[in-house]
Chains A and B, each alone.
Chain A
Amino acid sequence: MTYFPEEVVERIFDFLATHRDRNAVSTVCKTWYRVERLSRRSVFVGNCYAVRPERVVARYPRLRSLTVKGKPHFADFNLVPHDWGGFALPWIEAAARGCPGLEELRLKRMIVFDESLELLARSFPNFKVLVLISCEGFSTDGLAAIATYCRVLRELDLQENEMEDRGPQWLSCFPDSCTSLVSLNFACLKGEVNAVSLERLVARCPNLRTLRLNRAVSVDTLSKILARAPHLVDLGTGSFTIDHRAEAYHKLINNFIKCKSLRSLSGFWDATPRCLPAVYPICGNLTGLNLSYAPAIQGADLIKLIRQCSKLQRLWVLDCIGDKGLAVVANTCKELQELRVFPSDVYGEGIAAVTEEGLVAVSSGCPKLISLLYFCHQMTNAALITVAKNCPQFTRFRLCILDPGKPDPVTNQPLDEGFGAIVQSCKDLRRLSLSGHLTDQVFLYIGMYAERLEMLSIAFAGDSDKGMVYVLNGCKNLRKLEIRDSPFGDAALLEDVGKYETMRSLWMSSCDVTLGGCKTLAAKMPRLNVEVINEMDESDELEENPSDLHRVEKMYVYRTVAGPRNDAPDFVWTL
């Protein structure tokens, strides 16, 4: 290979699809390193503090697509303080200076200010794709800047962000000359948008394929939009409140019928069962359906809808679908690959929704199922063993039994055997979340069998340090480990300190790790950042000078070549 001219080597590298492979070839020799870095178009940074933005930009000046992730995963559940960090600005600034050809930016769990969005909009003349997932810190003013200055914008995708609404004008900022939009998702926006601007925008973008409206968009507007864009493939319906007797309803049905390309539906924020027949005409074509924000659609109506969706590959529902509903899914959706069942009654006791029966039904009826997120009130070992036998092809298996530490209700045993069966059977399992009553035994199984496991989430589980050690010793491919409320302490933490350099990160909260243990880890491993997050009570004077024996409430450890970060707030100590 060394005798090939560099252009040829570059062509060969073009065939390398994954980041991992490209990273690997760059370490072979200086020539390959140079060829690889100058031809690299896309970079993924899994932890924004693992490397400095300037360094990334300096190494890959011809970068076109950048993806950066900020806060640890448990930030989704309010376990990480809001101002912990994960700022987008340094990345945008560095890219503005070093990679003017940047076309795509994808950020997850980061803090993005309006000023950052404005800088982004003005710095990259070819900017095409902006995706913000679970971010915060910006408002519609930032969106206005994007709309105004990104002349060739193709994709604006806002997923589940906490953003401030400063008015509907942002949408009108797309100039009349903007006709390039392919994907627009503003479902998480809380406020109104200007309906006329929206309709006009849709009308002048003939390539628009994905459009996800927010709750404020009326059915009337939806109807008009469908009439103008029957070539949509992915639709978020907006509020979907219709008076099913009104003329608007009939218009809507007619417009839906024309959408022959529609493959994915979501939204349905305020939908009631009477409105569902409007979508019946296209159900047979659907590959994706998200009803997880529609609590009013339950029972028989939900079942009737699902019976018509025989091509579904991805289904997100609330647990009011019930075991009966899941049995219907099992009978109907033979192409199903991904199922997510969310709890509908988060704050109180509700109608008992789904149990192990529903899961078993789906596992036996849907041969292609590979990804699962399942919230339920109870689970049994027998059921899990059956599921493991039925579906050895799981790559993602996340089970959440709502009552922490709940055992098998039939045998009163911990769920070790059930989860053990899952990891033993599913050889390709990459992601696993545990729940229910679990002892160290389950971690022995995980260490033994879960060879491909990359991400493990543990809560209220285990008896002793042995549990965590089994996992650290056994799972060769482990990248992310997050643990909460489990009795793992310093002995487990320090058992194999080198392991953490092979992983992206470790999170431990409400465990038995002490400050002394963290300090020891930090001292032994200079290329790890060991962060201790101290949310101090004003009344707790003891916190001022805590002893090494003091239990650490929250700890976040990650490998980095950037050293301790310089933007950490007061309550984060990097040891």
Chain B
Amino acid sequence: MEGEATYVSDLDNLKATELRLGLPGTDAPEKPTPASPRGSKRALLAADEECQSKSKSLGADSSGQEAAPVAKAQVVGWPPIRSYRKNSFQARKAEEEAAGLFVKVSMDGAPYLRKIDLKVYEGYKELRKALENLFKCFSLGELSGMEGCNGSEYAITYEDKDGDWMLVGDVPWEMFISSCKRLRIMSGSEARGMRSSP
């Protein structure tokens, strides 16, 4: 969405939008940054000014479009939400991000399970390849479970947050990794049952 401000919590991101002279990528002579979390006043002023000039130009601009693609203004204390609330969401996000997304993978007939980190894959194709590699000693051939594939008798399924077993590949990748609790490579007739349903 245009003009939506992103809100930072640490100094490094502030530095990234600090207005400086110099070519991008070169390090301008660094001002010593204060140790306190209050942050550089200049950077905040710059952000504030940018914000004010943005809002002023909105009145004049009849087309309603934001002119320059925003170095999104980072505004202290905006939106006006109590730090307590902001922190509890931040903490939750940090928990989720730091953890990595390790899920168990079981395959019908295999004597042991494996574990993979969903975060390292960019999409379903990579995931499928990775799973093939993991279980190739059990001679899978091609893994099915994706649209259009009519390879072997296996289907890749996953258990979602609600406890239901779903076919992998239906939802966007991001949505998938946020709701996937574990994976199961289903074999034989069970798989056929899943694949044939619309």
Asked whether any CB of chain A lies closer than 8 Å to the CB of B182, the reply is no
A244 engages B163 (CB within 8 Å): yes
Q: Which residues of A contact B62 (CB under 8 A)?
A: 412
A74-B77, A78-B77, A510-B48 given; A245·B83 CB < 8 A: no
Q: Interface code B89-100, partner A: CB below 8 Å = 1, 0 otherwise?
A: 110110000000
Q: Which residues of B contact A165 (CB under 8 A)?
A: none
Asked whether any CB of chain A lies closer than 8 Å to the CB of B112, the reply is no
Report the Cα distance A489→B79, complex, angstroms.
24
Q: Which residues of B contact A192 (CB under 8 A)?
A: none
A347 engages B6 (CB within 8 Å): yes
Asked whether any CB of chain B lies closer than 8 Å to the CB of A134, the reply is yes
The stretch among B17-25, B37-45, B142-150, B184-192 that forms the contact with chain A is: B37-45
Contact among B31, B38, B79, B163 for A539, CB-based, below 8 A: B31
Number of A-B contacts (CB under 8 A): 126
B84 engages A437 (CB within 8 Å): no
Q: Interface code B69-88, partner A: CB below 8 Å = 1, 0 otherwise?
A: 00001011111111111101
Q: Which residues of B contact A400 (CB under 8 A)?
A: 79-80
Interface residues of B in 15-60 (CB under 8 A from A): 31-32, 34, 38, 40-42, 45, 48, 51-52, 54-55, 58-59
> Within the complex, what minimum Cβ distance (angstroms) separates A334 from chain B?
28
Report the Cα distance A348→B92, complex, angstroms.
15
B41 engages A535 (CB within 8 Å): yes
Which residue from chain B places its CB closest to the CB of A75 in the assembled complex?
B83
A540 engages B51 (CB within 8 Å): no
B76 engages A78 (CB within 8 Å): yes
Asked whether any CB of chain A lies closer than 8 Å to the CB of B1, the reply is yes
B76 engages A79 (CB within 8 Å): yes
A272-B162, A535-B41 given; A414·B59 CB < 8 A: yes
Q: Which residues of A contact B51 (CB under 8 A)?
A: 404-405, 460, 485
A347 engages B93 (CB within 8 Å): yes
Q: Which residues of B contact A134 (CB under 8 A)?
A: 82, 84
Which A residues form the contact surface with B (CB < 8 A)? 74, 76-79, 81, 134, 160-162, 188, 244-245, 272-274, 292-293, 295-296, 342-344, 346-349, 352, 375, 377, 400, 402-407, 409, 412, 414, 433, 437, 439, 457, 459-460, 484-485, 487, 510, 535-540, 553
Given contact pairs A460-B52, A536-B41, enumerate 16 new A-B contacts (beta carbons under 8 Å).
A81-B38, A162-B83, A295-B92, A347-B89, A349-B1, A403-B4, A404-B78, A407-B59, A414-B59, A433-B80, A457-B80, A459-B78, A459-B80, A460-B55, A485-B48, A535-B41
Which B residues form the contact surface with A (CB < 8 A)? 1, 3-7, 31-32, 34, 38, 40-42, 45, 48, 51-52, 54-55, 58-59, 62, 64, 73, 75-86, 88-90, 92-93, 161-163
